[in-house]
Amino acid sequence: MKIIKKILLVLLIAVIIIAAGFAGLIGYALITDYNPLEKDILFTKDNSDKLNDTIELSILTWNIGYCGLDKDMDFFYDGGKKVFTPKKTLVNNLTAIEKFLKLNDTADFIFIQEIDKNSKRSYHINEYDSINFVLKNHYSTFGKNYDVFFVPVPVSSPMGKVLSGVAIYSKFQPVSSVRNSFPGKYGFPKQLFMLDRCFVVNRYPMANGKELIEVNTHNEAYDPGQIRKAQMEYLREFLLKEYEKGNYLVLGGDWNQTPPDFKPDYSASLIRTEQIALPSGYLPEGWQWIYDNTVPSNRTIKTAYDPSVTTTTVIDFFLISPNVKALSVKCINLGFEHSDHNPVIVKVKLVK
């Protein structure tokens, strides 16, 4: 009987300790929770060089997967088992990504998603500063979309601290750069440990009095529908309002959705069929979705990459307003060597 009482007492103490620890974690998460403004000004300048209203521009977009989602990586949150890639591998990934960006630094704009500043998953390496050094001839702005002091999953090997976001590198100095919060949150307490999604808007004055609006977006990945829908409705309102002013809009990034009416032109057996698609008729006639349907831009990360079995899709692409003309688009097939995404480069021309 005494032994049973001791066992029960030990169990009770263990339950109390676990409950107290959980309550403490939630309490501290509430206190430190990142609650961004709807619009957060990242940079402003009174005057900037005016761009010609028929200028041709090149834009590169790439989700670099915080340099931790290389070809050998699977990820627990997507059905895999791993949490962290080895530090040596991550550093090699960062070096390779920097080399690619250096080779393509003629791009007028470079949009990067999932770039870490101070995260356990990337060994607290400031990837933003590292890429700033490589792209030293570009102006840069950073919009934070993930700031959590401690992500407690998986319990066996928690992700820990995450500080990450999206960045725009530009050959032209903007007059302003603004972080725009997407609406929609997960239920409590999950929302305390998830991303606060956003899109970053850079503005450039034109010689004709209008503005060029460059937008880097990283939309919701895990919500089955409602949060995505709210985000896209919010973005649509922003786009139409800006276009009504006569402004030129170029959006790129990781949409975590396929383009409307997407029809890939590569091996159908490897298509990721469960990926949600953007709705047809999302915007009025004249707006264009620009993507390369011959090369996948993203792979599943349930397992390490195997081109013979890994499913892929296109979720990295561009959207342009009716006063912008697409000249070319190409997804660069890097074989998902250093990220679970391939980069995409588009060339456009502004039209009167």
Please check whether residues 8 and 104 belong to one and the same domain. no
Q: Mean pLDDT throughout 24-32?
A: 60
Judgement on whether residues 242 and 198 belong to the same structural domain of the protein: yes
Are 10 and 138 found together in one domain?
A: no
Residues 95 and 288: beta-carbon distance below 8 Å: no
Q: What is the pLDDT of residues 65-118, one digit of tens each?
A: 999 999 999 999 899 999 999 999 999 999 999 999 999 999 999 999 999 999
CATH of the domain at 338: 3.60.10.10
pLDDT at 123 over 90: yes
Please state the rounded mean pLDDT for residues 165-177. 97
Task: Choose from 213-227, 228-242, 260-274 the range with maximum mean pLDDT.
Answer: 228-242
Q: Give the mean pLDDT of 302-319.
A: 96
By CB atoms closer than 10 A (0-12, 13-18, 19+), residue 231 is buried
191/260 same-domain check: yes
* Strands 56-63, 109-116: pairing kind: parallel
In 10 A of CB 208, how many CB atoms?
15
For 33-103, where are the alpha helices, taking DSSP H only? 87-103
Q: Does the structure show a pLDDT above 70 at 179?
A: yes
Can you give the residue range of the structural domain that contains 27?
1-32
9 plus 71 within the same structural domain: no
8-17, 139-148, 149-158: lowest mean pLDDT where? 8-17
Is residue 21 over pLDDT 60? no
One domain, residues 191 and 314: yes
- Confidence at residue 25, expressed as pLDDT on a 0 to 100 scale: 53
In this structure, the answer to whether residues 75 and 125 fall within a common structural domain is: yes
| Residues 86 and 22 grouped into a single domain | no
> Do 158 and 9 fall into the same domain?
no
**How many structural domains is the chain composed of?**
2
Q: Are residues 137 and 50 in the same domain?
A: yes
Whole-number percent of the chain with pLDDT over 90: 77
Confidence of residue 24 (pLDDT cuts 50, 70, 90): low
For residues 151 and 229, membership in a common domain is answered with: yes
Q: Residue 267's pLDDT band (boundaries 50, 70, 90)?
A: confident
CB 325, CB 348: distance < 8 Å: yes
Tell me, yes or no, whether 24 and 157 share the same domain: no
Query: Given the DSSP bridges, would you call strands 248-254 and 211-218 parallel, antiparallel or unpaired?
Result: parallel
What's the pLDDT at 3? 74
For 197-204, what is the mean pLDDT? 97
Provide the percentage of residues in the chain whose pLDDT is more than 70: 90
Between CA 249 and CA 84 the distance in angstroms is: 37
What are the angstrom distances between the C-alpha of 4 and each of 1, 7, 8, 9, 257?
5, 5, 6, 9, 56
- Evaluate if residue 32 carries a pLDDT over 80: no
